Amino acid sequence: MPHIFVAGASRRVGFETVKRLRASGVTVSCFFRSESERSRVEETGAAVTIVDAFDGAAVGAAIAGAGQLDAIICTLGGKPGDEPRVDFPGAKHCIDAAKTAGINRFLFVTAIGCGDTWDTLEEKAQQFLGPAIKAKNQAEAYLFSSGLDYTVLRPGGLSDDPVTGDGFLTQDVGVLGTVTRADVAAQLVRCLESDKTKGQVYQVLDRNQLRTATPFVEMVL
């Protein structure tokens, strides 16, 4: 049974990912910074370490101390208005720790708006999300140059609604819409199980929640 490490596991996509992995019987270790969330995450059966992602040494120690790992999933990200933002330093520390520990597989969640999807966003969204996208772009670039077997998922607008099963992956950059965090987690697990996703970047959306009529192709893994 694989052993997966999830960075940023206490809420949102990270927590949904932990729940999905544990429901499949996967061994999960994770970190996050809020002691108040510990019991909720531990109830899933995941092993928890409390770590501030801004602390590179602590991140490295948490990942090294987890034992033999098959992959790292990084879901770290700040909220609008957060300063400093954790997106780049947190991801960088996880990437560095993965390389030090010899963990080649790295899955990373960013957002539509990063890289070649920037022009997909409306001007108002660009203004609102600009600082976050800038930080996530830095993190993506660092990962791309790391030599790791990466997969990057860029979700559209995120909601906390229950899983729909209608999430999909595409590499067509002009598609915009929303998707639940639970469906993003489902796609992360799919990517984890497929070697075809190594070295790839995908947009993640819900086929019933699209806001554009741009043609696209769903990726079959």
The 10s digit of each residue's pLDDT in 44-89 is 999 999 999 999 999 999 999 999 999 999 999 977 667 789 999 9
Domain boundaries, the chain: 3-206
Mean pLDDT of 21-36: 97
Mean pLDDT of 193-203: 97
Tell me how crowded residue 180 is: count the other CB atoms within 10 A of its CB: 23
pLDDT at 99 over 90: yes
pLDDT in tens, 122-141: 999 999 999 999 999 999 99
Q: Residue 78: what pLDDT? A: 77
- Report the pLDDT averaged over residues 26-30: 98
Report the pLDDT value the prediction gives residue 80, as an integer from 0 to 100: 67
The class level of CATH for 3-206 reads: alpha beta
**205 pLDDT tier (thresholds 50, 70, 90):** very high
Q: Long-range contacts: 176-179, Cβ < 8 Å, 24+?
A: 176/112, 176/120, 176/121, 176/205, 176/210, 176/211, 176/212, 176/214, 177/205, 177/206, 177/209, 177/210, 177/211, 177/212, 178/205, 178/206, 178/209, 178/211, 179/155, 179/204, 179/205, 179/206, 179/209
Alpha-carbon distances of 201 from 8, 195, 198, 211, rounded to whole Å = 20, 13, 9, 21
- The pLDDT of residue 54 is 97
Question: What mean pLDDT is predicted for residues 180-209?
Answer: 97
